[in-house]
Amino acid sequence: MASNVNADVKTKFGLLICHLTASGFSYEHIQEKVMRDPFFLCFERNEVNRFLATPIETIVSEVFHKQIYIDYSAPIASEIFWAGQMYISLLLNHGVPLQRSLLVYPLEKMISLFNPYHEMADDRLCLRYLEDEAKTSVLKSVMEGKISARQLSVLTGISYSAAIKYQNNQTLFGMSASTASSFASLLDVPTCTFTKESAFVPSISSLMEDAAFRATYVEILSEYLSVEATEIALVESADDKKTNAALLTNHRALFDYHRFLLIKNHNRQTKITALGPSVIRAISKAAIARFKETLPKGTVLF
């Protein structure tokens, strides 16, 4: 079900990891940069177009400070390409922040799972990761070799008992934004390392081809607009004035799901409103989450 955007992100990230290793960067150096360099927060900021538009050579130059030449006709290492794709699959399908998946499954570990997982559907690897993450203290992994729980307590102002409790992932993921920011600043990692779910929202263009997902999307949209779902109709284009005028005789609102435009009657005139990016992301994310509840556990959408 991967849309072009989602598939392109998976492919490009896999190629990036391949070309970085081929250029002599160690697995440890690659994962440290991806985990900590601000460039890779483009996903948390929903700036995926920035990632796709930036040539791999430029990323390597600006983030890894090395000029490289890429021979795109040369063969790539299948296991490394696959590993890079799996980090993005975790982000797309389970909302695991890229910075945390690299912490729980360092690059060498992910590559080691190529056999037998590359022969299976992505959901098998994703489910194994989620099981392993639940057994891994994210906070202890970040602290390891750098700071003790006692020192964390002193430097952040939380009690020692709280510092110990936060070594449990469920407690950690429920911490306040201010505490998460304090931990992240002290431990030199992005705040998203400690959040339960990434802020990134996948492209839903391919899901909109599925009637069940469209129905779920309309449900969320109707709740946002405080109208009944039956009072909203999805349309192919806000520009089809004749068809839309007819539909508006039986619906309170129409929604152009290609351009995210809301169409309503206002004083007997058609009014078209563009939903803001933050609203679009929130509705899309809520629709994905509700739709997944209807599917078998571990289903890969992207």
Side chain identity at 16, as an amino acid letter? Answer: L
- pLDDT confidence band for 130 (50 / 70 / 90): very high
**Alpha-helical regions (H) of the chain:** 4-22, 27-36, 48-53, 56-63, 78-94, 98-104, 107-112, 114-117, 122-135, 138-143, 149-156, 160-165, 169-173, 177-187, 211-225, 241-247, 277-292
Domain with CATH 1.10.260 in the chain: 138-194
- pLDDT confidence band for 62 (50 / 70 / 90): very high
- pLDDT confidence band for 298 (50 / 70 / 90): confident
Spatial separation of the C-alpha atoms in residues 131 and 290, rounded to whole Å:
22
Spatial separation of the C-alpha atoms in residues 205 and 212, rounded to whole Å:
14
In this predicted structure, what is the pLDDT of residue 269? 77
What topology does CATH give the domain 138-194?
434 Repressor (Amino-terminal Domain) (1.10.260)
Radius of gyration of the chain (CA): 22
pTM of the model: 0.92
The mean pLDDT of the chain is 94
Spatial separation of the C-alpha atoms in residues 288 and 3, rounded to whole Å:
14
What's the rounded mean pLDDT across residues 67-82?
Answer: 94
pLDDT greater than 80 at residue 3: no
In this predicted structure, what is the pLDDT of residue 299? 83
In this predicted structure, what is the pLDDT of residue 22? 94
Q: CB of 193 within 8 A of CB of 138?
A: yes
What's the rounded mean pLDDT across residues 215-223?
Answer: 96
- pLDDT digit string, tens, across residues 158-192: 999 999 999 999 999 999 999 999 999 999 999 99
Q: Which residues pair with 15 in a beta bridge?
A: none
Spatial separation of the C-alpha atoms in residues 284 and 226, rounded to whole Å:
17
Residue 97: which region, alpha, beta or left (left: phi > 0; alpha: psi -120 to 50)? Answer: beta
Task: For tokens 């899901």, name the residue.
Answer: 207
In this predicted structure, what is the pLDDT of residue 2? 44
- pLDDT digit string, tens, across residues 233-279: 999 888 988 899 899 999 999 999 889 999 998 767 788 999 999 99
- pLDDT confidence band for 1 (50 / 70 / 90): very low
Spatial separation of the C-alpha atoms in residues 220 and 161, rounded to whole Å:
41
Of 127 and 2, the structure prediction assigns the larger pLDDT to: 127
- pLDDT confidence band for 280 (50 / 70 / 90): very high
In this predicted structure, what is the pLDDT of residue 236? 87
